[in-house]
Structure 1
């Protein structure tokens, strides 16, 4: 979606003046030019006799532009936008200077209006085809449709933080929406609802106000061609806990919103495990929350929204969690066989890794491997420090390494090999062509049981340690969804684009300034898509 500028390539325009204007606007919207620099370039073009550019006022030659140059430039970029007007609302935010919660104006794009613009732009597109959606989203829509008598379209929300300052010290909390039913190439589209600097978030207040605002229907009185239902909320475990109030990995009363698993009981992955018998539906979870003195998130006020609409993300649970733990432990276990000292061992492993990359034309590669990337400290649990895509790409390599060095070893070595085989088989069935829910369930639980046995048998008390996130892997295995249908890779990519758009080389860093700049620049850079 976001790699190419949707305003069009300047080379495709016939007029030289239009080409130049398009280039200047794209440079401004991408953050490579300030508003004043872009305005100066356009007025210089006008001075050269090119048509279609803003003229310099008489008597202002050599004078500095006014401070509203960026605002005026953005307005010119928005002249032909078909997106809805920005919605303004006051919500509770955190004032870092005064250390108090206060009300401040924030910009929104209401989901109802986004959908209305999308439907109007694509009147002949079949939005009711849900083939590309996850099974749980399709089932949720079928259940709601029975009550309304009208076909429902699933909608999804994603919420997470992303660095957006030049030195990556400031984080932006982004809320975006998407339509899970859209198949390729339309499935990459994400639409921002709002965004705020992380230091402006008041815990337990800001996001509650956001959910209340996002549910407003500003197009009331107008007919929307289709009806949607919020079927998915995607986020990492930390966000689900802090923003939506779901249990976290430290909750003594239960670490999961779907079962009775606790920090002590989650390690039992047998079919007779207590948490597999004691499952929570939406009402049971709500009762437990209230019994623990916790408030229910305002997101539950959305019609037909239930706890199963919160999706457990494979990217954060596996590619940035369990798989990195497994790879770190396997690499650490094999290292002593690769050389006389750790430096030589790591160098030999990286050499084998690079050979694997070349033979399999892997794109997401680790350019440098160090001991601390496998195990940070001697008393720490081994865990590979890599990006999510790099981790996924190393699963087959780790299996090859285990087959080469562990197949003829001890009983412990063979258990490590079989553990890696189960993990690799689980990854193999993630594609739509190879998807098999039963295979994923069986392989995941075999992996978890063997990993548990490795923790018990390991002589290193810090190795092969079971963490609560492994329970989330078990919950993914129990679902009917293909994890690739609702993982957050596309959302994270879109979040990075939002960070680029929100970045400014100057100006205020207030809730209104950041949120309005992001939404307006998004509307200017990306027109309402024509779905194919």
Structure 2
């Protein structure tokens, strides 16, 4: 597949040109030298072969230029997309200075777009049948979550990203850092998307820049439409976005050595906690008993996210949700809200828009907790949608998210009971009590896990809710108050 032709047998190539194709393929794949390939073409021409005249001429070219010229002929008129060039931070050991260098990429979404010119999504999905997921329940869970969170009609397809270094000089003293794309389940297929000499790597910065570009490309695969790389910084505006009839693709696995853990900001040997699945420390590595503490203290997704900033570590942008900014993320969320409004015309007070300025984020310096700035009627109209969103996005397997989900259900039940036909004082009091208990538990949990956090904050309004539930719908005027 080196020429960009998705057909490895060459059936798309006219019969008269297949010998030419084989000559070029043998040279590029290093099966024979470029000089030997040119000599084969020359002898074939003498025997009457056609379409090899230009390769045959290379046999008379000085040996140092044959490989260059033959490579140019091999990649001419390729079906693969053009490369994307970006400025990436590097470090020079000779001068001990940092600099910005040019790196070329084959963007994953354009590679997949090229494959789908001659294949269908169903053809590619055949590699991920029941037998594949039987041994990888983690990838099956990942695909299921992506399908639920993004409202996909059918399961998405899992891709893989491989990060590894390979020697590239004669004495193996220098390594080439390669990032390759794969389709999980298709063992013999990998496409390099970028590479660079590892000696020029700038700690954290080089990988961060590369993963930022690849993250944008993978988000295009997930959300569609397929954008051309002219939409990225440093490129001229491209044509209209290209669309393809697929159900979204996601990254199911990122493989690499322990040295690449720092690139993704996940715990490594230099961290206080060295694992992203438990609370093990370097001093506990030798403890492999069945009652070891690390076996009991397993981490969920929320536990890990809370632990990262507590230990002074960041979350890689590679794991961010689709949308490069808060404005784009709000736009994606508002698209879901508009779909809910369309399905529920009975909602009379609708939120006209959703912008980052309407969301008050956690401000530690001002002692403020998150809040939505909207009218009371618009907020009431969001309660039922909030429950739908929680059912779709929250993971019941996580204790924190399960608590949030139960809180949303209690809040939805409270608003449902406020209707005259459904009013039940005893049920209202019970739902209110459970809602406040859940909210208080979330506040306490996040304060213990993340000191100073105000993600959840119980306010005096919680007590007013309890007073209303205790009154049971009676009028305050009718009570014998002092």
Scaled to the shorter chain, the TM-score interval is 0.5 to 0.7
Change (3 A) 1:195 1:52: same
Match of 2:314 in 1: 295
Match of 1:155 in 2: 159
Change (3 A) 1:247 1:21: same
Match of 2:254 in 1: 233
Q: Would you say 1:113 and 2:132 are equivalent positions?
A: no
1:282 aligned to which of 288, 293, 301? 301
1:167 Cα deviation (Å)? 2.7
Cα shift readout 1:75-125 (whole Å, capped 9, x = no counterpart): 322345332222222211223332222111111111111122223321263
Matched residue SS, 1:51: coil
Change (3 A) 1:42 1:88: farther
1:273 aligned to which of 292, 301, 315? 292
Change (3 A) 1:249 1:66: closer
2:95 aligned to which of 83, 93, 98? 98
Number of equivalenced pairs: 293
- Give the 5 Å matches for 1:3-152: 18=17, 20-31=19-30, 38=37, 42=41, 50-55=49-54, 64=62, 67=65, 70-79=67-76, 81-123=78-120, 125-128=122-125, 130-131=129-130, 132-133=132-133, 134-150=136-152, 151=154, 152=156
Q: Would you say 1:175 and 2:175 are equivalent positions?
A: no
1:206 Cα deviation (Å)? 0.9
Change (3 A) 1:70 1:229: same
Matched residue SS, 1:173: strand
Alpha-carbon separation, structure 2, partners of 1:213 and 1:161: 20
Q: Is the 8 A contact 1:109 1:194 kept in 2?
A: yes
2:275 aligned to which of 256, 266, 285? 256
Match of 2:201 in 1: 201
Q: Is the 8 A contact 1:229 1:303 kept in 2?
A: no
Match of 1:246 in 2: 266
Matched residue SS, 2:176: strand
TM-score (norm 1): 0.48
Alpha-carbon separation, structure 2, partners of 1:161 and 1:193: 14
Change (3 A) 1:71 1:225: farther
1:24 Cα deviation (Å)? 2.7
Larger radius of gyration: 2
Q: Is the 8 A contact 1:230 1:302 kept in 2?
A: no
Match of 1:459 in 2: none
- Give the 5 Å matches for 1:94-493: 94-123=91-120, 125-128=122-125, 130-131=129-130, 132-133=132-133, 134-150=136-152, 151=154, 152-180=156-184, 182=185, 186-217=186-217, 219-220=226-227, 221-226=241-246, 227-240=248-261, 242-251=262-271, 253-301=272-320, 303=322
Alpha-carbon separation, structure 1, partners of 2:282 and 2:292: 14
Q: Is the 8 A contact 1:93 1:201 kept in 2?
A: yes
1:300 Cα deviation (Å)? 2.1
1:149 Cα deviation (Å)? 1.9
Q: Is the 8 A contact 1:163 1:172 kept in 2?
A: yes
Higher relative contact order (CA 8 A, sep 6+): 1
Alpha-carbon separation, structure 1, partners of 2:215 and 2:260: 20
1:208 Cα deviation (Å)? 0.7
Cα shift readout 1:258-297 (whole Å, capped 9, x = no counterpart): 1111122344444543222322223332333322223333
Q: CA RMSD in A?
A: 3.8
